[in-house]
Structure 1
Amino acid sequence: MNRLLTYYQKELSFLKQHGKIFASRYPKIARRLGIVEGETEDPHISRLIESFALLTSRIHQRLDDDMPELVNDLLAVLAPQLIKPLPSICIVMVEPDPIHSGLTGKNTLATDTALFFRHSTPVPYQFQTVYPVTLLPIYLKDALLHYNGDALNWSLKLSFQVWSGATINNDTIRIYLNGPDNAVNIIYTFLCSEIESLILNQEGKSSLLSPTDIKPVGFSKKESLLIKEPKISPVHNLLIDYFWFPQKFHFIDIQLPSNFCVKNNGLFEIKITFHNNQLTENLGKITEIINSDFFRLHCTPAINLFSIRAEPFILEDTKAEYPVIPDTRHQSQLEVWSVQKVSVQRKVNNSVQQFDIMPLLERHTDNSADENPGLYWQSFRRENLMPKGLEKKQYIAFSEQPNREVSSAPEVVTVNALCTNQYLPSKTQYFGNPDGDFDTDAPVASLKITALTHPTPPVEPASKNSVRWRFLSQFSLSHQLLDGDEGVKKLKEILTLYNFNNRSSNSHLVSLIQTLDYRPITARLISNDPHSLARGIDVIITFKHDAIKEPEYYMLCCLLDHLLALYAPVNSFTRLTTCIAHEDQTRRVWPIRAARISWL
């Protein structure tokens, strides 16, 4: 009943406030109702208003117990990417010291390695790595983009040297393309699609590698920037990453051969010769900026997300909701991004026991009565008007089971949350420290960690009205097939929906998609296995002729290749063909990609 009293007071206050507004707008009608400036002297009307407040408070409480904040909760389960802010993010480079790190072979920094901002702040900015970083004891000595006038082709030479006393074997070298977007997209296109030959020179010996030994990075599910939010589907993760932070795709992996081994100051060189076509004229425009600084080793995206245990609180019958406070001392520097786990501690038989509380709108296991606290939680983000401006806070509310046993002792709730530092990392001017920008507790000594790009400002979710429209668009498009005359329009709508930064370059690139056709095909998923025969879909996308001038054209095709594969039906596959209108030499048949759903 104490909770009902809280709802009753809220509803009664609402009726009085809006009664006052109604009386000021329509004074004649208000006087007939016995209302003057929101108050009434007639006890019968007063009792009627109070009775109505009691009735609506019961309805409000019932809705909160069963389906609180309906639209937001639906979005939180079905499309959380539409209601969550996108945190600050940057590219960091990890440089082990050749002398003091003790690195003689490869070592790996795992995904989610914590990075702590070195400059003194009230609350240290904390990031986490998105990709695993394989530390190799090598230098990139030189990089040269060269035009061979005799052979009439362009080539790229990457020269490496192994550290003194170290060894490198058949490892994968991951390289980040660090430069202006246009130059990066040009080199990326040639490295991933225009290789004529790939040669490894090692101590006077040459080995011919396959062009497929160079692979793009960032398109797999485990490489998503928001992998910590499992409710976001791989389709939407891919779209978010591309339009939010495309630099995460500016990585390539070079696989060294199985018999490769270089030791102790040894040298080796990778020479990449490119096809000679109409795209090669772009290479001449970027020759001067291609050097060893353009190709960076040991890099990864890092995102401003970190786990924290919020301040505990005691459950009270008089409260309908509770703010999730990461740290009472630094509330303005920390913001809760999502609630990960909720538990309650209570005294049972002279001992303190802890029980996990399950989310309200997720599938629940049938826990035994001894393990089930009789509670479910739901969290929501709310904006509050404060003297210093608009404050956004995460709140948590609880729903009780009808047969829940109420403990006479206090019940203490603890919340594990993912937090961000809001806009603070993007506003600081202290990045670029010669001694490194971040520290880490990784088990490798003498690491210098530098931010190659300045942390981006967080991207706030759309307004409530925009969210509703995006919600409707999301699900109307997700349940339609990209076929027929409307196929291009639907595909463009899907891509435009995620261009939340409204970047004109993205909008222009999407507008260059001209036609989309498809046809059923039968092919082998494994070329040399006749038992892998399956039926799939051949998708042909044609771009307008102006696309040939766009350096980002190939990157968009990569996105579409992986995106359409995620839409493939069960036990099927997709094969994408892309081309530019009136340019037959741009026709490219992409590899067969099996559906994400497991084969039956």
Structure 2
Amino acid sequence: MDRVFVEYYEEELTHIRGLAAEFADMHPAVARNLSLDTVPCPDPYVERLLDGVAFLAARTRMKVDAERSRFSRSVLDVLYPDLVTPAPATAMAVLKPGQQVQSMIAGHVIKRNTRLVSSLQPGLSTRCTFTTAQEITLWPIAITAVSYFQDRSGLAAAGITPIGGAGGEAALRITLGRTGKGRLGELALDRLDFYFAGRTKAPLLFDAIFGACSAVGARAEGKANPLSPLPEPEMVGISDDEALMPRTRPTFEGYRLLREYFMMPERFHYVRVSGLQPVVRRCEAGIEIIFMFRRPVPEL
């Protein structure tokens, strides 16, 4: 006999005998007639009856405990279906524009759910297929420099003035230039998504931009050019059309965000800057995007 079942049986038999003793204390006359006033019971028929009840109760309890995980899964499948679905492998993909993209002034759009097939590794016969979680546009541009200014003297030396009347104590400057032939101003560029890589600096940059940023501005490359204010930076991955995991049925949106964050924290290390087109038109070789901070961030 299964040892687990024997343990259930012994627990139930001990419990029944304990109840019999309590019953004998409360109703001594009735207990004496049923031979329940002593343990073990001197009447073999009553003793076998107690054994049989313990046997049936042990089987019932064992089956209920065995079904507990299935019951919990069924309840969770109704209340929060995304919790019990398996989590697939996730990764950050780096897409580099080819020669054809270099001449595309409107950029090259990579649609959401685009399939990416991995290269065949030595000794393996199966390729991995991934799908993109958000739409992205490839532009013939690249980051040429990143600078951080931690005091007002550094801001003055770089020609960084208050943006739309909002000043600051520090600033982050990202300089971008065109990689192909032609002017940067030819591109129909209005929005950019920046991804901050690295486990140490990325969270600090993210916290600084969304926790201490007083204004965002852009200008043609060169400290003598004026800064044009831009809309506030946006988080990426929050909306439904940028969800990492498909939703099986309507649920609370916060659960999805928590699940995706613990699955892949770096998925939220994006910052979206929009409203660039008026500034881009005036650019020849490069553009500077400046995040003004209300306070210095020494960790950067």
Shorter-normalised TM range: 0.5 to 0.7
Choose which of 218, 225, 228 in structure 2 pairs with 1:208.
228
Paired residues, number: 217
1:95 aligns with: 96
Map Cα deviations across residues 525-570 of structure 1 (whole Å, 9 max, x no partner). xxxxxxxxxxxxxxxxxxxxxxxxxxxxxxxxxxxxxxxxxxxxxx
Choose which of 250, 263, 269 in structure 1 pairs with 2:288.
269
1:135 aligns with: 138
Distance in 2 between residues matched to 1:230 and 1:263, nearest whole Å: 47
1:187 aligns with: 205
Contact 1:160 1:267 in 2 (8 A): yes
5+ residue gaps, structure 1, are: 1-16, 27-68, 287-600
Shift in alpha-carbon separation, 1:216–1:197, aligned structure 2, 3 A:
same
Q: CA shift at 1:89, angstroms?
A: 0.8
Q: How does 1:31-430 map to 2 (within 5 A)?
A: 72-98=73-99, 102-120=103-121, 121-148=124-151, 150=153, 153-162=169-178, 163-165=180-182, 167-180=186-199, 182-202=200-220, 205-210=225-230, 212-262=231-281, 266-276=285-295, 280=296, 283-286=297-300
Q: Please identify the structure whose Cα radius of gyration is greater.
A: 2
> SS of 1:91's equivalent?
coil
RMSD: 3.1
Shift in alpha-carbon separation, 1:73–1:231, aligned structure 2, 3 A:
farther
Distance in 2 between residues matched to 1:128 and 1:262, nearest whole Å: 34
Q: CA shift at 1:101, angstroms?
A: 5.8
Q: CA shift at 1:177, angstroms?
A: 0.5
Q: CA shift at 1:214, angstroms?
A: 1.3
Contact 1:158 1:269 in 2 (8 A): yes
> SS of 1:268's equivalent?
strand
> SS of 1:104's equivalent?
coil
TM-score, with normalisation over the residues of structure 2? Answer: 0.62
TM-score, with normalisation over the residues of structure 1? Answer: 0.33
Distance in 2 between residues matched to 1:199 and 1:82, nearest whole Å: 41
Contact 2:108 2:138 in 1 (8 A): yes
Q: CA shift at 1:226, angstroms?
A: 1.3
> SS of 2:125's equivalent?
coil
5+ residue gaps, structure 2, are: 11-69, 156-168
Map Cα deviations across residues 117-147 of structure 1 (whole Å, 9 max, x no partner). 1134322111111111121221111111123
> SS of 1:269's equivalent?
strand
Distance in 2 between residues matched to 1:119 and 1:193, nearest whole Å: 43
Q: CA shift at 1:102, angstroms?
A: 4.6
Distance in 2 between residues matched to 1:237 and 1:259, nearest whole Å: 36
Q: CA shift at 1:74, angstroms?
A: 4.1
Shift in alpha-carbon separation, 1:223–1:240, aligned structure 2, 3 A:
same
Which of the pair is proportionally richer in strand? 1
Which of the pair is proportionally richer in helix? 2
> SS of 1:219's equivalent?
coil
Q: CA shift at 1:174, angstroms?
A: 0.3
